[in-house]
């Protein structure tokens, strides 16, 4: 035990429950990031968003979920900026990751053809 006080912002009072289970970083985003492991059928609670989509699959903490239906070839937006292109249709509430999202840099490199 020690008596020193720190200027640290304490994490949060013990036992205080999660107000939000996912975060949308910018109002323009069509994806949100899970703040805890979320299960299919759950509806994530997202600040400044009335109703998050019902999840169609499990989403691990730190991973992205689609907030709306995203068509193949459409831009995926996070931080209010394009982070890549949907390589197949992504349903609202689905996991957005390597299987359905490709970065623009990687795409450009591949379109240049083999080296």
- The contact set with another protein (CB under 8 A) reads 7-12, 16-23, 25, 33-36, 45, 47, 60-64, 78-84, 96-98, 101-106, 109
Do the beta carbons of residue 18 and residue 44 sit within 8 Å? no
> CB 45 → another protein: shortest distance, Å?
8
Q: CB-wise, 7 or 71, nearer to another protein?
A: 7
Q: Is the dihedral of CA 58, 42, 28, 72 positive or negative?
A: positive
Do the beta carbons of residue 76 and residue 85 sit within 8 Å? yes
Instruction: Give the whole-angstrom CA distance, residue 87 versus residue 51.
Output: 26
Place of tokens 């209010």: 80
> CB 6 → another protein: shortest distance, Å?
8
> CB 24 → another protein: shortest distance, Å?
10
Instruction: Give the whole-angstrom CA distance, residue 101 versus residue 88.
Output: 8
> CB 41 → another protein: shortest distance, Å?
19
């Amino acid at each position: 035990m020690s008596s020193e006080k720190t200027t640290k912002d304490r994490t949060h009072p013990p036992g205080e429950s999660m107000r939000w289970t996912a975060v949308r970083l910018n109002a323009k985003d069509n994806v949100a990031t899970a703040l805890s492991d979320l299960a299919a059928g759950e509806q994530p609670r997202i600040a400044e968003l009335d109703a998050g989509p019902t999840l169609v699959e499990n989403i691990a903490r730190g991973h992205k979920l689609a907030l709306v239906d995203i068509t193949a070839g459409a831009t995926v937006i996070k931080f209010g900026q394009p982070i890549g292109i949907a390589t197949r249709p992504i349903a609202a509430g689905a996991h957005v990751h390597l299987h359905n999202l490709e970065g623009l840099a990687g795409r450009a490199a591949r379109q240049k053809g083999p080296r």
